[in-house]
A and B are shown apart, each in its own frame.
Chain A
Amino acid sequence: MSFYQYMQKKETCDTGKNEIRKSNEYLRKILTIEQLYDKMGVRRCWEAIAMVLNESLSIEQKLEILAESAKFDVACTSSGMQREGKQGELGNSIAAGICHSFSADGRCISLLKVLFTNECIFDCKYCINRSSNDVPRASFTPRELCELTIGFYKRNYIEGLFLSSGILHTPDYTMELICETLRMLREEYHFRGYIHCKAIPGANPMLIEYAGWYADRMSVNLELPTNEGLRRLAPNKTRKNILGPMRQIQNGIGESRQLLGMKGGNHSAYYFTKKAAGQAGIAERFQKSALLGCTEEKKKESVLAEHQPRKDSGGVRIEKTTDVVKKEPAGGLSLLESIGRPTGRGFAAAGQSTQMIIGATPETDYQLVSVAEALYQKFDLKRVFYSAFVKVNEDSLLPDLPGGPPLLREHRLYQADWLMRYYGFSAGELLTEKRPNFNAVLDPKCDWAVHHMELFPVEVLQADYFLLLRVPGIGPKSAKRIVEARRSGVLSFEDLKKVGVVLKRAQYFITCNGKTLGRLHLDESYVTQSLMLNEKLPKNLRDALYGRQMSLFELAAFSLVAG
């Protein structure tokens, strides 16, 4: 049956659709628009009209509205799940993830990223779909969404589905619709592709568990890094409603791993990096000496979960996660109950992620990386995503951003995030309370290195893997290749370049077979200036930073002041 034939046929087994149709019929029969206007006031009236309109919306119109509404969600990745195809079913999943296209903003499109509905009872200040906004509303039905996913998947447009949603009626009602979509996709359409699903804050833990057995990845958006910010901008959401499900999913993945082995889900990159770094003795020592006056004790303190209300940090207060979890005994799955569950895929076996909005509230970069680090440590997240705040609503509580979204800041946070997950850096090494924001011109790793000139130069042919990773211009791939290649011979600077080392950065920090590239001048200000002259930010970031293009000379002058 073609998609359009289906559209005409209108299946009846579909709860969401019935629900909407019922209310539409009710509205058509009983009230005229004017009567509604009287009864409910302007806003409710508009909603009612939207409901009627929604029924007559074509699938094109729905997709238009619900894709547009989902565009600010960042995590469009399809990684972390390896699953072979199977006869009689559709699809497989590749652990590395696959990008299927790139949109005009240069971001990867991997999944069909849509909202189930953009009707929402919440009124989060930053969100285009907040209940007080006058925007076109639409809802899919579970079957429409399944047909769309399968149709796109077969044509190789997508790797799977990324389903998020506004909150229709109640969190439970919405989560039920999401669960029904996922169940239908897996059990009726036999879909083996990737599914990323949001847990709706405040939904019943049973429903979240239900979704977890069908989804590969789950995520709960942290939205704003501090409780204070959440209270101001997302008054309907609480820290408890966000961290509760996050903990439940983490425990669920842990139990599923015990139950099903590796198929039940793997630890995060952060976990493995820390583990590997722990085994490499040299790196460990190196790291300890490198901690910027940040003792273990202090580090623990700055961590999100155990964040005590600190008077000295500008009144930023993060409540204890431990309390939240105690109050929320729904942690994880019950192994007994999981018998009879569709355990073939494991429970959210590709792990969980979250995202934070950057620049809508006044946190420092140091607070942000500390929160991210805490999330990696305490919740074993696969990824934390950062979303530069785009002002879509006029609201006195929202900051003005005359320079556009803080893209450079977002870029720096992602760089720092990589350093934490793959390089073994800790948040306290990258920033401190005294130096709470990233350098605008130097990336976080260069910035760290120029403050630790006493540790350089590093001899490339001898240094161990984690020590190589500390050198600006050397990444995990090139470090691995160096370690492999030097077993069978000596490498030259030319060879380093070919295996992927960025010499324009690395040259100030390395010797190769005792030689240097040019004169090695281990002086902080000299290296800083040289690096800044070399650094070429992507054009859009440069413009965001300076509002216009800056000459090299100005850049150097600027950096001397800023550095």
Chain B
Amino acid sequence: MEKKYIYRCEDSVEGILTGIYEAWASVHSHEENCIEVRGAGWEMPLLFAEYTEVVPDAEKSEKVQRSIRLRISEEAYEMVMKAILSGDPEKGEVIYRFLIYAYREGARACRSYGNPWAMRLFELVRNYDNESHHLKGFLRFDEQENGLLLARYAPKNNVMGDLMAHFSDRLNGEDFIVLDEKRRLAGIHKRNTIWFLYRLSEEEYRSFSEGYKGEDSYGALWKIFHQKIAIAERENLRLQRNNLPLRFRPYMTEFRNETPA
């Protein structure tokens, strides 16, 4: 059996792109290399493997980014960046294989749905985009003290950047925080200024959760509206579930205090 060289990277832009840089620079062929993202829940099931723990390196990551933009296309760059934020456990490997193909094919690689890796990348990006679009609608803010708005969620893909860009434009005059409970990542927007991301420590996260006030008076009004707007003669819970998957509902005001279906 052929020996594999596995590069284990941190789940971040720097981590994954450094991993790809290291794999590329190694003496082994692409077929022998393999990119694995730590904590993503996927491992190459191999007996004969040599592991390299990749140390994230800003400079190497920067080099990979620059070369993707110059030698492939801006579109490919955007797709790769989204794929890095994807929740797919195989994403490291998909990006690596796609880049091998795309450096050969050039800009058109992004739409070469006939290539399995280009297709996989396309699927990751589509999944990311869909979830991001969904959450722009499904995210719910509750008003806390001093008018601060707080939203909690736990997405499959890390779509925080998209959401913060969207909501900081929309609610530019509000203080708000979006909290990713899965990644303990907070997006913080200060009214009329900038937004930034902050990774909470375990302790900070706990105190944060304890401070959460629950829904405000508008929540009750929204529940009334949500219930009254449905036409009983057309009830179709299956269609509702297709359009609004159950995984989003625990965080949505109108579905709170509902027994799970």
Tell me the A residues contacting B by CB distance below 8 Å. Answer: 2-4, 59-60, 63-64, 67-68, 70-72, 84-92, 94, 96, 98-110, 112-114, 148, 151-152, 154-157, 159, 388, 390, 404-405, 407, 481, 484-485, 487-492, 495, 498-499, 538-540
Contacts and interface: CB of A to CB of B under 8 A. Distances in A.
Contacts of A104: 227, 230, 235-237, 240
Contact of B226 (A60, A103, A539): A103
Contacts of A151: 218, 221
Contacts of A154: 141, 143, 149, 171, 174
B138 A405 contact: no
Nearest to A114: B225
Contacts, number: 176
Question: What is the interface of chain B mostly: helix, strand, loop, or mixed?
Answer: helix
Interface string B236-248: 1111101110000
Interface of B: 105, 108-109, 111-115, 119, 123, 133, 136-143, 149, 151, 167, 169-174, 192, 217-222, 224-240, 242-244, 252-254
A102 B105 contact: no
B238 A156 contact: no
Given A67-B229, A98-B133, A155 B142 contact: yes
B138 A59 contact: no
A448 B239 CA distance: 27
A294 B123 CA distance: 43
A112 B142 contact: no
Residue of A71, A488, A491 contacting most chain B CB atoms (<10 Å): A488
B226 A101 contact: yes
Nearest to B239: A106
A489 B230 contact: no
Given A68-B228, A104-B235, 9 more contacts: A94-B136, A104-B227, A106-B237, A106-B240, A114-B225, A152-B218, A155-B219, A155-B253, A538-B239
Contacts of A105: 230-232, 234-236, 239-240
Given A87-B172, A481-B111, A109 B240 contact: no
9 contacts: A59-B221, A87-B192, A94-B136, A101-B252, A101-B254, A155-B140, A491-B113, A498-B113, A538-B238
Contacts of B123: 498
Given A101-B137, A155-B149, A157-B222, A488 B142 contact: no
B212 to A, nearest CB: 15
Given A85-B169, A105-B235, A113-B229, A157 B140 contact: yes
A102 B171 CA distance: 23
Contacts of B169: 84-85, 92
Contacts of A89: 173
Contacts of A539: 238
Contacts of A495: 113-114, 119
B6 to A, nearest CB: 28
A63 B228 CA distance: 9
A67 B225 contact: yes
A404 to B, nearest CB: 6
A485 B254 contact: no
Contacts of A88: 173
Contacts of B219: 155
